[in-house]
Amino acid sequence: AAMSPRTFYRRLQAATGTTPLQWLLGQRLARAQELLETTDLPVEKVGELSGLGTANNLRHHFLKQVGVSPGDYRRSFFSRRPAA
């Protein structure tokens, strides 16, 4: 990015309104949501593919940020899908 870490931090915070770590967590959770909505992969694999590592880590952050567990989120999404 050709800038110091401090400048990067300030510019990202100005552009997004959040810290780089929170922005990254948000991106990882968005990827997890996409995987939960579009695949039937186990939660362990979703955690791994979304960059959150373990299923426990995914469950912790997902519940904290989204307000429901990954399993409940998936069930809610699939129950609203129209029948094929």
Contacts of 47 (CB under 8 A, 6+ apart): 32, 53, 54, 55, 56, 57, 58
Work out the burial of residue 1: count CB atoms within 10 Å of its CB; fewer than 13 is exposed, 13-18 middle, 19 or more buried.
exposed
pLDDT score of 46 more than 90? yes
Determine the pLDDT at residue 82: 55
What Å distances lie between residue 66 and 1, 3, 15, 59, CA to CA? Answer: 31, 33, 23, 10
Please give the CATH number for the structural domain made up of 19-80.
Answer: 1.10.10.60
pLDDT at 13 over 80: yes
Which DSSP symbol is given to 67? S
Query: Quick one: pLDDT band at residue 80, thresholds 50, 70, 90?
Result: low
In percent, the amount of the chain with pLDDT more than 90 equals 86
Compute the mean pLDDT over every residue in the chain, rounded to the nearest whole number: 91
pLDDT at residue 60, rounded to an integer: 97
What is the pLDDT averaged over residues 28-41? 95
